[in-house]
Chains A and B, each alone.
Chain A
């Protein structure tokens, strides 16, 4: 090796060490042959600990995943691949700082896998990893603001809780999420008992006040960020409860029923009672069967009808036939 070639190699080595991008090279048997300083910093593995090792033995959770296919495609077919943050979030266990490592918060990554010709050797592949956390945060902010703007057209004018439109959008999103994650999703339909009689007796003004009181009392009982209560119709409310099974949703419904009873809003025209009460129908998608919005709504509606027919001021859960 000539003197200038030695310098050149040393310089290239320094470049690899200095660039602000994760750089990994795998040989044709997917053994790690380059692991730059950026990788050392963010993965916690020093080059000595990983060089010569099978990449997928080091990161077993990546075997069979898209990056595995991308490496195969680079080595076998000579094609490059990209893995976007949006579709993969954070495939590798990389952390921006020791504090992030302690809290388990992975760096958001954009990955490119490209074939690499190495003179005299079978084809290698290069994996480049960029930290896109800043862009992700910026877009989240943008989206939150868009959501904020939209929520102004998504809330019910009288009660201030979500309106029917908001409910429909949220329902669609949660059903898809439940389907993907295989997690349960519960739905409550809540109806104020004898509300027509209440309006006729106390007038619409007081009827509206009662609607607001009931809506706020119910909304205050939802603790988890993804729970959503919406005004579904005149005196009807719907509650979406992601990741809550049938049993727990009925327990919550029962608490809600008691809470409204305890408000002790007088209702002299109530059938079989002296105060404002609610009937609640519950239905649950268990995570195993295919979720369907119409089926979930229909089941909750049926349960609500049973509660009404069973004497009101009660909770019924729809049981599969």
Chain B
């Protein structure tokens, strides 16, 4: 599988941690309660392995929010949580005490907004640090197996998935989720080039 140098890897982990930090701050302001988020690790996977990681069984449904970005690099970004965890997140954010079995239409919109905040922060931080501009689409909400969600967002067998593990902590609950950046080979190359350019800038020429 595709690999980054240790330096490139560390730079991306740091950038994404700044990104989710901004997202956590925005969410704290909305709910007036402390929200913390971190990205403990990232990995590059092929699509099949990415689907596997999220538990690709009929029984394990995943809830996803996706946005398409393009510019300095092109990607489909997808925030994913196991469906039961997404119920937890929305209800913790909303402070609702009558849980129904699935997210209602209004709760799905709330989940879309949460995804929108996290994805925009992650991609926005990348764009800022790379001093590049990207444009984004409005968020879309999905429920299904991880395989279905990855397919629905246009990932094919040859795409690479940059997978971020995300820890989300609200009101003593810790919830583990993922952000997947679906990249084709060109996009992957563009991303790597941007990371190198950034590293050259901060470290000085090698």
Task: Indicate if the CB atoms of B106 and A139 lie closer than 8 Å.
Answer: yes
Out of B26, B128, B138, which one reaches A112, CB within 8 Å? B138
Q: Assess whether A176 is in contact with B120, with CB atoms less than 8 Å apart.
A: no
Q: Considering the complex, give the chain A residue whose CB is closest to the CB of B138.
A: A80
The reply to whether A86 and B138 form a contact with Cβ atoms under 8 Å apart is: no
Query: Which of A86, A132, A173 has the most C-beta atoms of chain B within 10 angstroms of its own C-beta?
Result: A86
Cβ contacts under 8 Å, A110 to chain B: 109
| Partner pick for B32 among A69, A115, A147, A180, CB 8 A cutoff | A180
| A135 touches B (CB below 8 Å) | yes
Contacts of B30 in A (CB 8 A): 66, 87-88
Contact A78 B133, beta carbon cutoff 8 Å: yes
B33 engages A79 (CB within 8 Å): no
Name the one of B97, B106, B109, B135 contacting A78, with C-beta atoms under 8 angstroms: B135
A150 CB contact (under 8 Å) in B93, B98, B113, B120: B98
A87 touches B136 (CB 8 A): no
- Given A176-B95, A179-B33, A180-B95, do A79 and B135 touch, yes or no (CB 8 Å)? yes
Contact yes or no, B95 A86, CB < 8 A:
no
Indicate whether A152 reaches chain B with its CB closer than 8 angstroms: no
Interface: B171 (CB within 8 A): yes
Whether B90 pairs with A86 at a CB distance below 8 angstroms is: yes
Closest to B120 in A: A79
CB of A180 within 8 A of CB of B94, answer no
Q: Which listed residue (A66, A82, A170, A173) contacts B26, Cβ 8 A?
A: A66
Is A83 close to B, CB under 8 A?
yes
Assess A82 versus B116: contact at CB under 8 Å? Given A66-B29, A87-B110: yes
Contacts of B139 in A (CB 8 A): 82
Question: Chain B CB within 10 Å — which of A66, A142, A170 has the most?
Answer: A66
Q: Point out the residues of chain A lying under 8 angstroms from B105, CB to CB.
A: 135, 139
What B residues does A220 contact at CB under 8 A? none
For chain B, residues 83 to 123, give those with C-beta under 8 angstroms from any C-beta of chain A: 90, 93-98, 100, 104-107, 109-110, 112-114, 116-117, 120, 123
With an 8 A cutoff between CB atoms, is B4 at the interface? no
The answer to whether A86 touches B94, judged by C-beta atoms less than 8 angstroms apart, is yes
Interface check B134, CB cutoff 8 A: yes
The interface residues of chain A lying within 8 Å CB-to-CB of B32 are 180
**In the complex, what distance in Å separates the CA atom of A84 from the CA atom of B106?**
7
| Cα separation A102 to B27 with both chains bound (whole Å) | 33
Contact between B138 and A84, CB atoms less than 8 A apart: no
Across the interface, do B113 and A84 meet the contact criterion of CB distance under 8 Å? yes
* Distance of A142 Cα from B128 Cα, bound (Å): 44
Report yes or no: A80 in contact with B136, Cβ–Cβ below 8 A. Answer: yes
Tell me how far the C-beta of A267 lies from the nearest C-beta in chain B, rounded to whole angstroms: 38
**Is A77 at the interface (CB under 8 A from chain B)?**
yes
- Secondary structure at the A interface, as helix, strand, loop or mixed, is helix
| Beta-carbon contact of B29 and A172 below 8 Å | no
- With CB as the reference atom, state the residue of chain B lying closest to A177: B95
Q: Is A135 a contact of B112 with CB atoms below 8 Å? A: no
Does A34 touch B at the CB level, under 8 Å?
no
Q: Which residue of A lies closest to B107 (CB)?
A: A86
Q: Is A118 an interface residue (CB 8 A)?
A: no
Residue of A nearest to B133 (CB): A78
B110 & A84 in contact (Cβ 8 Å cutoff): yes
A53 close to B (CB within 8 Å):
no
CB atoms of A142 and B100 under 8 A apart: yes
In the complex, chain A residues whose CB is within 8 Å of the CB of B135: 78-79, 115
Residue numbers in A under 8 Å from B144 (CB-CB): none
Taken together as a complex, chains A and B put the C-alpha atoms of A84 and B114 apart, in Å, by 9
* Distance between B188 CB and nearest chain A CB, rounded to angstroms: 22
Interchain nearest-CB distance for B81 vs A (Å): 16
Q: Cβ of B100 and Cβ of A146 under 8 Å apart?
A: yes
Q: What residues of B have a CB within 8 angstroms of the CB of A69 in the complex?
A: 26
Tell me the bound Cα distance from A85 to B71 in angstroms.
Answer: 31
A43 at the binding interface (Cβ < 8 Å) = no
Q: Please indicate the chain B residues that have their CB under 8 angstroms from the CB of A147 in the complex.
A: 98
Per the bound structure, the CA–CA distance linking A85 and B137 in Å amounts to: 20
Contacts A80-B136, A180-B33: A86 and B127 contacting too (C-beta < 8 A)? no
Interface residues of A (CB under 8 A from B): 66, 69, 73, 77-88, 110, 112, 114-115, 132, 135-136, 139, 142-143, 146-147, 150, 169-170, 172-173, 176-177, 179-180
List 12 additional contacts besides A84-B109, A139-B105, A143-B96; criterion CB under 8 Å: A66-B30, A73-B124, A80-B116, A80-B136, A81-B120, A82-B116, A84-B112, A84-B113, A86-B90, A110-B109, A115-B135, A170-B97
Chain B residues near A (Cβ < 8 Å): 26, 29-33, 71, 90, 93-98, 100, 104-107, 109-110, 112-114, 116-117, 120, 123-124, 127-128, 133-139, 171
